[in-house]
């Protein structure tokens, strides 16, 4: 089918963006969600159900191993779920039919292309950050290992605890920033064109370096949206994920020529 053709092109030209491009991307993303709401709700449900499962495992069962498995599954599934939003937006852009078998088929076929490699990179970031977070905890609160932090959070209000939280937040923000720069448009680029994942990450990184202020605002909007979506019992993700998922496709179209 013509709408499934992936275009082979050289490294795309990086465009200069302004805040108007972000507004236009969000407007177009909201329009796509309204045009095909069932797809957005379906893909978002994966994360909402996963969030509920993690919360249930931590608060009801106290089984930490469940949270580790579920947490590791999110980075693996994330790129494929994101491709669902991108594919819907691409088909709406082309005026192509939105049939479930065709949309899901395109996503399924990504397993034979570059998306799994990007998923593996995200998983490596996740695992390394998990290891580093444990190291930071041991460095600052190694003497508090006999305290049950699940029932007593007072240890985090000590000088060492507050220092650990501040240091961990800075390091976590740096990790998130690097991952954001490498993936913000690399995933839609891999779906849309026949390029390797290295080229896609270079293009994504170059875009962020060329538009640091605009992309910092975009990262803040995504982080704030996800935070609000999660504190509402994860129900807000039914709105946040489709909005930013579809909007990211339109930002990619405006950012790379």
Q: How many CB atoms lie under 10 A from the CB of residue 159?
A: 8
According to the model, what pLDDT value does residue 254 have? 95
With 0-12 CB in 10 A as exposed, 13-18 as middle and 19+ as buried, what is 146? exposed
On the question of pLDDT at 226 being above 80, the answer is yes
Would you say 85 and 37 are in contact if contact means Cβ atoms under 8 Å apart? Answer: no
For residue 126, give both structure tokens: 């996740």
For the whole model, what pTM was predicted? 0.84
According to the model, what pLDDT value does residue 1 have? 39
Higher pLDDT pick, 120 / 54: 120
Nearest CA among 20, 22, 15 for reference residue 250 = 22
CA distance 237 to 55: 15
Q: How many CB atoms lie under 10 A from the CB of residue 210?
A: 14
For residue 33, give both structure tokens: 């969600």
According to the model, what pLDDT value does residue 11 have? 74
Calculate what percentage of the chain has a pLDDT beyond 90.
Answer: 43
According to the model, what pLDDT value does residue 114 have? 86
Task: Find the Cα–Cα–Cα–Cα dihedral 114, 118, 121, 126, rounded to 10°.
Answer: -150
Instruction: State how far Cα 143 lies from the chain centre.
Output: 35
pLDDT digits (tens, 9 = 90+) for 161-210: 788 888 888 888 898 899 999 999 999 999 999 889 999 999 999 999 99
């Amino acid at each position: 089918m013509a709408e499934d053709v992936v275009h082979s092109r050289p490294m795309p030209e990086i465009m200069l963006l302004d805040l108007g491009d972000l507004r236009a991307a969000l407007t177009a993303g909201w329009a796509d969600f309204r045009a095909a709401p069932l797809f957005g709700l379906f893909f978002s449900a994966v994360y909402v159900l996963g969030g509920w499962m993690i919360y249930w495992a931590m608060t009801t069962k106290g089984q930490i191993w469940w949270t580790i498995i579920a947490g590791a599954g999110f980075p693996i599934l994330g790129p494929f779920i994101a491709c669902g939003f991108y594919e819907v937006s691409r088909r709406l852009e082309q005026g192509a039919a939105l049939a479930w078998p065709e949309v899901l088929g395109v996503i399924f076929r990504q397993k034979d292309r570059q998306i799994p490699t990007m998923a593996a990179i995200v998983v490596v970031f996740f695992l390394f950050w998990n290891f580093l977070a444990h190291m930071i905890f041991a460095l600052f609160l190694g003497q508090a290992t006999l305290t049950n932090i699940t029932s007593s959070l007072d240890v985090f209000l000590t000088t060492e605890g507050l220092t650990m939280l501040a240091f961990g937040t800075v390091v976590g923000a740096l990790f998130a920033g690097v991952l954001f720069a490498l993936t913000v448009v690399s995933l839609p680029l891999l779906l849309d064109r026949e390029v390797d994942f290295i080229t896609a990450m270079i293009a994504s990184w170059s875009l962020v370096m060329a538009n640091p202020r605009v992309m910092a605002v975009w990262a803040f909007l995504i982080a704030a949206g996800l935070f609000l979506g999660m504190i509402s019992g994860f129900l807000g993700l039914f709105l946040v994920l489709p909005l930013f998922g579809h909007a990211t496709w339109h930002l990619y179209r405006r950012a790379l020529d």
